[in-house]
Amino acid sequence: MNTAKSEQLYKKALNFMPGGVNSPVRACRNVGTVPLFIDRAEGSKIYDADGNEYIDYICSWGANILGSADRDVISAVKSACERGLTFGACHAGETELAQRIKRNFPSIELLRLVNSGTEAVMSAVRAARGFTHRDKIIKFEGCYHGHSDGLLVRAGSGLLTNSVPDSTGIPLGYTENTLVAEYNNNDSVEKLFEKYGNETAAVIVEPCAANMGVVPPNPDFLPFLREITRRYNSLLIFDEVITGFRIGLGGMQGKYKITPDLTALGKIAGGGMPLAVYGGKKDIMELVAPLGSVYQAGTLSGNPAAVSAGNATIKKLEESPGIYSVLEEKSEKIETAFKSAGLNVNREGSLLTVFFTDREVRTYSDVITCDKARYSEYYRFMLENGIYIAPSQFEAMFVSAAHSDEDTEKTCDVIKNFMIKKF
Ligand SMILES: *Cc1c(COP(=O)(O)O)cnc(C)c1O
């Protein structure tokens, strides 16, 4: 595999951006390789600057559920761009997108369009605090909700203690209201509520954790979160930035029939453009400015080009009956290949992660037992054999509608060969 051009581009980029990248995981430091510089992507394939072709299972971290450069999405964006890249004013596309979202997420009665998942979650938390007049929030270890100050907390230890930030540059005061519980551990939540229940504005959760690798919820976990938040007059926020429009049109809440009070969407909702959403119950969202006292705004919010990509993507998902069952079948085939090779795999719909540990992975403490060196070996083997996956153990593998049977068969063969070669 020749990656001379990527190496050259990386060297140059290092002079201008921290680590040569605009988002840390792209630097591939976890797996000890030079990042590939991408030239273009189409359908299920992605091509680097040296002309190498890969089957793409990152899909821009899940955004490209239709595959890359879908013709219908590109043509919608082109026509939107012709009419102006930004107005900073109202346009009909925004309402069309809001309507599409509301129809698929009945829990979202009113919503706001923003520019990134980080912004969506941050704003949802602000609305929850404004509505409840409470300051504390409960999040889960290993769940990622963007990089806003108050949420950048994972807390390596101590379930009942207030948390320290994961990053420098965040004053302790910004995270002292962020409590951390263990994912899939109802007891850890109950204990926090016993102590802080009447101060807790909301529980925020990835209804299927996908940022510590994929960790689906135990059957009683989400119903329990719904019940305990109601019991304490606290709100439930589903961060469905990854799972929205991926685990089905209605996300995890549609699949598991749980109604959160607030929801954040991103990735697929923007069809590959910078767009995200937060919304929920009418009486909460009516507190958002200009109707109420919770301030939130954005120069590029509802950007017409991004909105057109979101509309075209969701329209296509809505109008392709069976698209999710086909995704399920393809993903199950890959899951089976991993299992047959003796690998430990978690799957929720078209999200998968292979964990290099012998433990069944249900919590963050299981996740961190993984052998990262073995993951790096696996990553490099996959890449050398034309399979593009996340350069980190703690991310998901994303299957798209553009992956052909030929693609999945090749992927299954490479998985099989990895185990033959390496063990
Ligand atoms: C990606 C992601 C975010 C952050 O979204 P950005 O657009 O990267 O800011 C938040 N929550 C979850 C669950 C995500 O997967």
| Contact status, residue 218 vs residue 362, Cβ threshold 8 Å | yes
Highest mean pLDDT among 73-82, 147-156, 368-377: 73-82
264: β partners = 239, 278
* Cα-to-centroid distance, 406 and ligand 1 (Å): 31
Best residue for ligand 1 mutational test, from 267, 273, 300, 351 (most atoms within 8 Å of Cβ): 267
- Rounded to 5 degrees, φ, ψ at 55 are -80, 125
The residue contributing the CA closest to ligand 1 atom 8 is: 117
How many Cβ atoms from other residues are within 10 Å of residue 148's Cβ?
Answer: 17
Q: Say which of 48, 70, 239, 261 is annotated catalytic.
A: 239
* Cα-to-centroid distance, 419 and ligand 1 (Å): 32
Per-residue pLDDT of 85-109, as tens digits, reads 999 999 999 999 999 999 999 999 9
* Spatial distance between the Cα atoms of 339 and 115, rounded to a whole number of angstroms: 38
Residue 155 pLDDT greater than 50, yes or no: no
* Cα-to-centroid distance, 387 and ligand 1 (Å): 24
| 117 Cβ below 6 A of ligand 1 | yes
At 160 the pLDDT is 38
Instruction: Give residue 110's Cα distance to chain centre.
Output: 22
Q: Which two tokens stand for residue 125?
A: 């938390």
At 263 the pLDDT is 99
Best residue for ligand 1 mutational test, from 60, 154, 206, 242 (most atoms within 8 Å of Cβ): 242
Taking the CA atoms of the chain, what radius of gyration do you get in angstroms?
21
**Can 267 be counted among the known catalytic residues?**
yes
At 163 the pLDDT is 59
| 362 Cβ below 6 A of ligand 1 | no
| 115 Cβ below 6 A of ligand 1 | no
* Spatial distance between the Cα atoms of 73 and 69, rounded to a whole number of angstroms: 7
* Spatial distance between the Cα atoms of 280 and 263, rounded to a whole number of angstroms: 6
* Spatial distance between the Cα atoms of 340 and 336, rounded to a whole number of angstroms: 6
The residue contributing the CA closest to ligand 1 atom 14 is: 241
**Can 144 be counted among the known catalytic residues?**
yes
**Can 239 be counted among the known catalytic residues?**
yes
Provide the percentage of residues in the chain whose pLDDT is more than 90: 91
* pLDDT band per the 50, 70, 90 thresholds, residue 260: very high
From the candidate CATH numbers 2.60.40.10, 3.40.1440.60, 3.90.1150.10, 3.40.50.1000, the one assigned to the domain spanning 4-59+322-422: 3.90.1150.10
3 state SS of 346: strand
Q: Which two tokens stand for residue 408?
A: 């999945």
3 state SS of 187: helix
Domain ranges in the chain with CATH number 3.40.640.10? 71-319
DSSP, res 211: S
Residue 172 pLDDT greater than 90, yes or no: no
* Spatial distance between the Cα atoms of 240 and 263, rounded to a whole number of angstroms: 7
* pLDDT band per the 50, 70, 90 thresholds, residue 37: very high
* Cα-to-centroid distance, 230 and ligand 1 (Å): 26
* Spatial distance between the Cα atoms of 363 and 159, rounded to a whole number of angstroms: 13
Average pLDDT over residues 211-233: 97
- Nearest Cα neighbor of 343 from 279, 415, 237 is 415
The amino acid sitting at 87 is: F
Q: Which residue has the tokens 């976890």?
A: 30
| 116 Cβ below 6 A of ligand 1 | yes
Q: What's the CATH fold of domain 71-319?
A: Aspartate Aminotransferase; domain 2 (3.40.640)
| Contact status, residue 389 vs residue 58, Cβ threshold 8 Å | yes
Residues in the chain: 423
Best residue for ligand 1 mutational test, from 121, 125, 154 (most atoms within 8 Å of Cβ): 121
Residue 156 pLDDT greater than 80, yes or no: no
Domain ranges in the chain with CATH number 3.90.1150.10? 4-59+322-422
| 206 Cβ below 6 A of ligand 1 | yes
The residue contributing the CA closest to ligand 1 atom 11 is: 145
| 241 Cβ below 6 A of ligand 1 | yes
How many Cβ atoms from other residues are within 10 Å of residue 195's Cβ?
Answer: 12
Average pLDDT over residues 53-78: 98
At 422 the pLDDT is 62
Element (H, E) at 8: helix 4-13
At 419 the pLDDT is 86
Average pLDDT over residues 189-195: 98
At 198 the pLDDT is 97
| Pairing between β-strand 53-56 and β-strand 387-388 as defined by DSSP bridges | parallel
Atom of ligand 1 minimally distant from the CA of 23: 8
At 131 the pLDDT is 98
How many Cβ atoms from other residues are within 10 Å of residue 275's Cβ?
Answer: 29
Comparing 24-38, 45-59, 261-275, 286-300, the range with the smallest average pLDDT is: 24-38
* Spatial distance between the Cα atoms of 309 and 407, rounded to a whole number of angstroms: 26
The residue contributing the CA closest to ligand 1 atom 6 is: 117
| Contact status, residue 128 vs residue 116, Cβ threshold 8 Å | no
Element (H, E) at 305: helix 304-318
* Spatial distance between the Cα atoms of 161 and 348, rounded to a whole number of angstroms: 31
Q: Does the reported pTM lie above 0.95?
A: yes
Average pLDDT over residues 236-257: 98
* Spatial distance between the Cα atoms of 235 and 279, rounded to a whole number of angstroms: 13
Residue 153 pLDDT greater than 90, yes or no: no
Q: Which two tokens stand for residue 219?
A: 């059957």
Provide the percentage of residues in the chain whose pLDDT is more than 70: 97
- Rounded to 5 degrees, φ, ψ at 140 are -115, 145
Q: Which two tokens stand for residue 316?
A: 């296509």
The distance between the two most distant Cα atoms of the chain, rounded to a whole number of Å, is 62
Residue 162 pLDDT greater than 70, yes or no: no
At 29 the pLDDT is 87
3 state SS of 108: coil
Atom of ligand 1 minimally distant from the CA of 61: 1
